[in-house]
Amino acid sequence: MAITFAIGVSPEEARREKALVLEPELREYFRRVSIQKGIPLPNLTNLDPYADTRFEGGRLSLLEREVDDLLSILEGLYGKEALPPLLEPPEVIGLETEPEGKPCSRDGALQFLLALRELSDEARRGGWPLLAIGD
């Protein structure tokens, strides 16, 4: 159920070197934050995990705005010492396919969003679609 973000016209031709994986635990965390803060992030949190979504033009702009919104929310939240458990990111993600998972925590959540912002910038500059590839 992980979703891979990559630049390309089709999943088979997506650029492998800059692919970014949104693990289900992190997606669930972003969804929790969006509900708690009352900010809808449909392009980021309601992606179909079993299908592909294509971001280009206006849709890419919407995704970028959502990523920026979420980044500013999280940076504000992480400035505080203690957070309610619901707003804390998972310590480990990727447990669906990796036996030990991968470390995440606050740094991992921010790094993912920054990398996604960079990837969408690159797609926009190159005139390529950004794909969210499901399973």
Partner 1 sequence: MNQAFLRSIQFLSSLPWKGLLLALLFLFPALALFGEDFSQVESLPPASSLLDSIPGPAPSVPSGPAAQEMKNVRTPPTKTKETAADAALKKRARRAADRYVLSNKTLYQHILPRHGSDATVPGKSRFVKGFDVSDGIDYTLKSPDARIRENTDGRRGYIFEVTYRTRIGTSPEKKPLRTLRVVIDEGGRVVTAFPVK
Selection from 51, 84, 71 nearest residue 116 by Cα: 71
Q: Provide, rounded to whole angstroms, the least separation between the CB of residue 30 and partner 1.
A: 13
Query: Cβ closer to partner 1: 14 or 26?
Result: 14
Under a CB-based contact definition with an 8 Å cutoff, are residues 116 and 24 in contact?
no
Rounded least distance, CB 7 to partner 1, Å? 11
Name the token pair of 120: 């969408």
- Which lies closer to partner 1 via its Cβ, residue 107 or residue 135? 135
Q: What is the nearest approach in angstroms of partner 1 to the Cβ of residue 44?
A: 13
Residue closer to partner 1, measured from CB, 77 or 120: 120
Residue whose token pair is 């505080």: 80
Report the interface residues with partner 1, using CB under 8 A: 1-2, 4, 6, 11-12, 14-16, 19-21, 46, 48-50, 95-99, 133-135
Whole-number minimum distance, CB 91 to partner 1, in Å? 18
- Judged by CB, which is closer to partner 1: 38, or 99? 99
Structure tokens at 32: 């929790």
Token pair 């797609």: residue: 123
Residues in Cβ contact with 1 at an 8 Å cutoff, skipping those fewer than 6 apart: 24, 49, 50, 96, 134, 135
